[in-house]
Structure 1
């Protein structure tokens, strides 16, 4: 049997593999080390992303920002405002509209009711009577009470006690104060040749005609409520009855004389409803021709 043939039917093994060169072995080692390093770096990156998502750390490109809202810096000693919780607060209620001025009827029946409360049958003083046109929404006795308070006020024409008034309800009155609608007031004033245009008050003879519009609404030129302007109406028109004529503004910043037609403008003066000041000074001004 030849030596090159395997005994008992076995194939003879070929020659043993040649050993690898040292250079190739070095290349394989370096490749394995790079693979291991890349694997370590990849694991570290995954761990960093995980920790960053847990603790709110950002800055890794391509990852969403998982942080909560950033607190606004506050001044020293201040605390940041708490974040609102629960349902949104309801909006504040809408304020009610401003009240509109009292409606004033332009005309009335031309008949009057005489005030009887507070009437003095006898006594000293200049007798006056208060009348209110029917159906205009003004109570005669309440109006008379206000007029009495004006006529007897310490800054009114009774100042110093030289002039005294007494309310009556009969024909003994030498002064009659009538509150009437604009049309009726105009008709009264027209008997004295006056054109009051549905806006102004007047005095004709013994009668003072108070325009209901002025009594209820006051005047846009007067710096005060209608209740105070009523004092100016009565004091001005009773001043005419006492013999006083119109006066002009004495100077800028001065109190307007009660005999000044303040409804036509103050001309630098300050609104005033009384003949006398709190210190007893009479508010006067230049005569109006």
Structure 2
């Protein structure tokens, strides 16, 4: 089980680095936009997306305020949680969610938050760009929530995250605990909503949207593949790849 590639701010994610490549294997292809095919390992028909819970937790833990230590032990706890397949088509990716030990974020709650994001009708999964299933072991993808210094170490091969950014790595996603807990000053909404952008941006790189996008025009929604943490350039902050009516939010490609 390997880790995915891309950097949230100055790299890939909410600004990330589009370096994600999937290792060989029919069930883990690199999928280019508009060319999504079902995995030969999963002949089962996709299950319908169920209505997600009302909202992810406001903090990821039971406390109202979550401390963000600069560093941690570098070991992780895997959420003991699982769910049904969500998505309308495309390859199935089973994912685990892990949280670095010693931080005030529940691994299980974080996993449920990620599941809620991926099951939303505005997500990639709802529009045939892949199917996703939360598992407690044996996943193809690992989403790690790590302290800033641990994030820097895990993302080092893909660029400097500077204690601030997230990244995508081979086989998974590294989410900076600081971004998960505090959000971004550029995003017009609470931290819990900013998490939607983190996950949707990195999953976008995973399924083949390797290039970032720019603001399509003043007053318009920012594409989820835009590095919104670097500035909105007149666009409105947006955490979803699709609108409620199913319109893909796009913009000019950034070289």
Greater Rg, structure 1 or structure 2? 1
1:188 alignment partner, one of 145, 148, 154: 154
Which ranges of structure 1 fall in alignment gaps of 5 or more residues? 1-99
CA RMSD between the two structures? 1.8
Q: Which structure: greater helix fraction?
A: 1
Equivalence for 2:206:
241
1:198 aligned residue (133, 150, 163)? 163
Please tell me whether residue 115 in structure 1 is matched to residue 79 in structure 2. yes
What SS is found at the alignment partner of 1:104?
Answer: coil
The Cα offsets for residues 196-222 of structure 1, whole Å up to 9 and x where unpaired, read as: 000011101112000000000000000
TM-score, length-scaled by structure 2: 0.70
Provide closer, same or farther for how the CA distance between residues 270 and 120 of structure 1 changes in structure 2, counting only shifts above 3 A. Answer: closer
Mapped contact 2:129–2:207 kept (Cα < 8 A): no
C-alpha displacement of 1:120: 5.9
1:273 offset after TM fit, Å?
Answer: 0.3
Verify the 8 A CA contact 2:186 2:229 in the aligned structure 1.
yes
Output the CA distance in 2 between the equivalents of 1:114 and 1:243: 26
Q: Does 1:227 align with 2:197?
A: no
Tell me, yes or no, if structure 1 residue 106 matches structure 2 residue 101: no
Q: Using the alignment, how far apart are the partners of 2:65 and 2:98 within structure 1? A: 24
Change in 2 beyond 3 A, CA 1:241/1:162: closer
- Aligned counterpart, 2:45: none
2:229 counterpart of 1:263: yes
Q: 1:199 to 1:162 in 2, by over 3 A?
A: closer
* Cα pair 1:120 1:168 within 8 Å, conserved: no
Counterpart of 1:170 in structure 2 is 137
**What are the superposed Cα offsets for residues 218-255 of structure 1, whole Å, 9 maximum, x if unpaired?**
00000000000000000001111111121111111110
Distance across 2 between alignment mates of 1:134 and 1:101: 18
8 Å CA contact retained: 1:101, 1:217:
no
**Counterpart contact for 2:130–2:207, Cα < 8 Å:** no
Listed one character per residue, the Cα deviations across residues 17-69 of structure 1 (whole Å, up to 9, x for unaligned) are xxxxxxxxxxxxxxxxxxxxxxxxxxxxxxxxxxxxxxxxxxxxxxxxxxxxx
Distance 2:95 2:234 in 1: 35
Structure with more strand by fraction = 2
Secondary structure at the aligned position of 2:158 is classed as coil
Task: Count matched residues.
Answer: 186
Could you say what secondary structure the match of 1:118 adopts? Answer: coil
TM-score (normalised: structure 1):
0.62
Aligned residue runs from structure 1 range 142-181, under 5 A:
142-171=109-138, 173-181=139-147
